[in-house]
């Protein structure tokens, strides 16, 4: 099974320092939905792993998060793609094992899908994503969208030996070309 794990905000959709609190605020990054579809078409299963502390912070509730994800699923399907699952951690506590940069969410994906993360790309836009991928023995990839450009600027040492792409479409292009 070919698997790719994506962070949500800043990788698939526009990010906001004020959180994505409603379906109306969830706006896909140009080309990201099509990138998911292209990955699906060459055999990748796409899973999302996202911190969603806005729930615990009282900015939105679980029902709203489900509506946001329903919109995301629908829009991906409209371009011929499929997201297999969304894993999220609503906790604010940095020590919670499922909250990135901790690897718990990624390890839960392994447990549920009965697979290994060795060589599995984990695409994110922050140092948290990189650290979680490394801690889970996955393959961290960074995009410049979302907080990615700022991450590269501020966390250069943490980004060492991490492949960097302009966006998810560029990641898909690279992965597809490497399997052909």
Residue 48: CATH number of its domain: 3.40.50.1000
pLDDT in tens, the chain (180 residues): 899 999 999 999 999 999 999 999 999 999 999 999 999 999 999 999 999 999 999 999 999 999 999 999 999 999 999 999 999 999 999 899 999 999 999 999 999 999 999 999 999 999 999 999 999 999 999 999 999 999 999 998 999 899 999 999 999 999 999 876
Look at the block and give the residue holding tokens 């980004």: 159
- Residue 169 token pair: 């479409």
Look at the block and give the residue holding tokens 């939105």: 60
Residue 129 annotated in active site: no
Residue 125 annotated in active site: no
CA atoms of 173 and 27, how far apart (whole Å): 22
Q: What is the extent of the structural domain holding 31?
A: 2-179
CA 43, chain centre distance (Å): 18
What's the domain count of the chain?
Answer: 1
């Amino acid at each position: 099974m070919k698997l790719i794990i994506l962070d949500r905000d800043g990788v698939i959709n526009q990010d906001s320092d004020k959180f994505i609190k409603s379906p109306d605020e969830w706006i896909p990054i140009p080309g990201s939905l099509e990138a998911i579809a292209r990955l699906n078409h060459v055999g990748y299963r796409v899973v999302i792993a996202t911190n969603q502390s806005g729930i615990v912070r009282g900015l939105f509730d679980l029902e709203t998060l489900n509506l946001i994800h329903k919109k995301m699923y629908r829009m991906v399907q409209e371009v011929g793609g499929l997201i297999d699952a969304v894993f999220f951690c609503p906790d604010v506590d940095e020590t919670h094992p499922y909250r990135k940069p901790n690897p718990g969410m990624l390890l839960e994906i392994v447990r549920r899908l009965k697979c290994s993360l060795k060589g599995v790309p984990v695409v994110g836009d922050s140092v948290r994503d990189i650290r979680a991928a490394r801690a889970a023995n996955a393959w961290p990839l960074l995009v410049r969208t979302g907080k990615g450009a700022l991450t590269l600027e501020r966390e250069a040492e943490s980004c060492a030996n991490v492949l960097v792409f302009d966006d998810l479409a560029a990641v898909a292009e690279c992965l597809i070309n490497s399997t052909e």
